[in-house]
Amino acid sequence: MIRQRVNGRKAEQGADRRERKGRAVAFVLAVLLLLSLTGCGNGETKDIVLTTGFHRDEVFRLADTSCSLAEVMVYLTTEQNLYESVYGSDIWNAAGEGETLEDRLKENVLAKLSQIKAMTLLADRRGVTLQAQEEKQVQEAAAAWLESLSDTEREALGVTQELTEGMYRDYALADKVYREIIGDINPEISDDEARTITVQHILIRTVTHNADGTTTPFSEEEKARCYQEALNVREEAVSGEAFESLIEKYSDAAESTLSFGKGEQETAFEEAAFNLGTDEISAVVETSEGYEIIKCISTFNREETDRNKEKIAEQRRDEVFGQEYDAFVNSLPRNLNEPLWESVAMIRDEGMDTDSFFKIYEEYFHPGERETAGGV
């Protein structure tokens, strides 16, 4: 049955925001599942070999470098707290299919640390080293992070100045070798390729998003009613009714105004939007969410287009880096200390709230930049 759209609109939009947040969590964690131990590029993942003869608290080896339990716990605890700061501590109670969210986070941490270790080996092969000033930054960053920890956190993580310096040194080398490889890559991105438009849209939803992350489509009869409603709404729009008023009255979308480039929306929505002129209104467009009526606000957003150019350029640089990285990392032997790895678990303690390891790195190595290049 089609819902009463005027009286229930605010409550529905609030529920939609909650659904979107839940789906965002599911999406992020699904992405984590796709991360391989090689991490950066599109090359195939080489299997980990399980073996014996590890040193105490040695989680894995990659060629002639290795990763300790303390390093794993620093990354795991940092990532755990970053997630909880956004989604709350109850996120770990969410149901999964055969694998807990904690297990997925562990796999992401293993992938990330494997990537860092591999990139330090790549740096060595390329002769990339840290200069005296960078070594000083390593020491200062390590001291700053240790200073930020409580006694409880230091003891639980088992960290020292020497170990922390080693972690920041690895991170800095990985960052530096990435920047060296992509340093001379400055692809020319045209305005047309990066063009970003701004639209408003009205969504008449034809699916229900369930709490478990699944989607239930409306019946064919309900969809037919929704389609007729969408036709009626569009008729009001082209007859001169204020589009903002129609959004408030009818739309199920959490966001009414969107700015996007090519490849960022569903194909049907994107094609309809990019074919509109300023102030033009589309026909009814069917997407996976329902029926859409789109109004073009701007056929060219200069500021967003410039941002999109940089985004596309970064993707091109990542592709170049990934080609060299994959060719290198796929030749490296790797061994996992399976019993130790299986025993690794998140620390559930309210006193363990440190989440600044990567933030402190940025403060000392890239002040003013939002994030490390290449997502290292």
180 with 323, same domain: the answer is yes
Beta bridge partners of 200: 257, 295
158 in a domain, yes or no? yes
Residue 14 reports pLDDT greater than 70: no
Rounded to whole angstroms, how far apart are CA atoms 28 and 345? 20
CB under 8 Å to 189, separation ≥6 — which residues?
A: 309, 312, 313
* 25 assigned to some structural domain: no
* Predicted pLDDT of residue 45: 38
Among 102, 111, 40, 114, which residue's Cα sits nearest to residue 77? Answer: 102
For residue 266, with 0-12 CB atoms within 10 Å meaning exposed, 13-18 middle and 19 or more buried, which class applies? middle
Q: Which SS3 state, helix, strand or coil, does residue 160 take? A: coil
pLDDT at 13 over 60: no
pLDDT, position 123? 96
Burial 90-110 (b: 16+ CB within 10 A, else e): ebbebeeeeeebbebbbbbbb
pLDDT at 272: 96
Q: Count Cβ atoms below 10 Å from residue 148 Cβ, excluding itself.
A: 14
Q: What residues make up the domain containing 293? A: 9-19+197-299
Which of 63-72, 93-102, 258-267, 273-282 bottoms out in mean pLDDT, i.e. has the lowest? 93-102
Mean pLDDT (whole number) for 286-292:
97
Confidence of residue 188 (pLDDT cuts 50, 70, 90): confident
If asked whether residues 363 and 333 sit together in one domain, one would say: yes
- Looking at the predicted structure, is the pLDDT value of residue 345 above 60? yes
Tokens representing 345 are 């678990």
Question: Average of pLDDT values for 242-260?
Answer: 95
- For residue 125, what is the domain's CATH number? 1.10.4030
Residues 163 and 206 reside in one and the same domain: no
pLDDT for the residue numbered 52: 55
Q: Does residue 292 register a pLDDT over 60?
A: yes
* Position 2 in a domain: no
Residues 180 and 55 placed together within one structural domain of the fold: yes
- pLDDT reported for residue 365: 96
Last residue of a domain, one of 299, 334, 365: 299
Looking at the structure, do residues 170 and 273 belong to the same domain, yes or no? no
pLDDT category, 9, cuts 50, 70, 90? very low
> What distances in angstroms separate CA 314 from CA 89, 303, 318, 358, one per listed residue?
33, 17, 6, 20
Residues 371 and 276 in one domain: no
Task: In whole angstroms, give the CA distance from residue 295 to residue 44.
Answer: 43
Assess whether 78 and 183 both reside in one domain. Answer: yes
Q: Where are the alpha helices (DSSP H) in the chain?
A: 9-34, 69-87, 101-126, 132-148, 151-157, 161-182, 191-194, 220-238, 243-250, 267-274, 302-329, 338-343, 357-365
What is the SS3 assignment for 190-217? CHHHHCCEEEEEEEEECEEECCCCCEEE
Mean pLDDT rounded to a whole number for the chain: 85
Asked if residue 319 and residue 236 are part of one domain, the reply reads no
Could you tell me which residues come within 8 angstroms of residue 372 by beta carbon, excluding any fewer than 6 positions away? 175, 358, 361, 362, 365, 366
**DSSP H stretches of helix in 239-299:** 243-250, 267-274
Percent of the chain with pLDDT over 70: 83
pLDDT reading at 144 higher than 50: yes
Structure confidence at residue 186 as a pLDDT band (50, 70, 90): confident
53 neighbors 339 (Cβ within 8 angstroms)? no
Residue 226 forms part of a structural domain = yes
Those residues with Cβ within 8 angstroms of residue 1's Cβ, 6 or more apart along the chain or in another chain: 222
Confidence bin at 191 (pLDDT 50/70/90)? confident
Q: Is the same domain home to 138 and 241?
A: no
Q: What radius of gyration do the chain's Cα atoms show?
A: 25
Asked if residue 307 belongs to a domain, the reply is no
Cβ pair 121, 332 in contact under 8 A: yes
| pLDDT > 90 in the chain, percent | 66
Same domain membership, residue 173 and residue 45: yes
What's the domain count of the chain?
A: 2
- Predicted confidence (pLDDT) per residue in 36-75, tens digit: 333 344 433 344 444 557 888 999 999 999 999 999 999 9
- What's the rounded Cα separation, in Å, for the pair 277 and 281? 8
Q: What is the mean pLDDT of residues 204-208?
A: 96
pLDDT band for 214, please (50, 70, 90 cuts). Answer: confident
In a domain, 24, yes or no: no
289 and 351 share a domain?
Answer: no
The CA distances from residue 264 to 34, 70, 194, 196, 283, in Å, are 20, 39, 11, 10, 20
CATH number (domain holding residue 295):
3.10.50.40
Which pLDDT does position 49 carry in this prediction?
Answer: 47
| Any domain includes 305 | no
Predicted pLDDT of residue 28: 39
Question: So what's the pLDDT on residue 340?
Answer: 95
Residues 192-210: what's their mean pLDDT?
A: 93
* Domain stop point among 240, 272, 299: 299
60 and 182 co-located in one domain: yes
Q: Could you tell me the pLDDT band of residue 95, with boundaries at 50, 70 and 90?
A: low
pTM (2 decimals)?
0.64
Q: Evaluate whether residue 4 is within a structural domain.
A: no
Average the pLDDT over each of 64-73, 90-99, 132-141, 266-275 and give the range with the smallest value. 90-99
pLDDT at 370: 52
Provide the token pair at 360: 């402190």
In this prediction, residue 211 has a pLDDT band, given cuts at 50, 70 and 90, of confident
Please say if the pLDDT value at position 260 is more than 80. Answer: yes
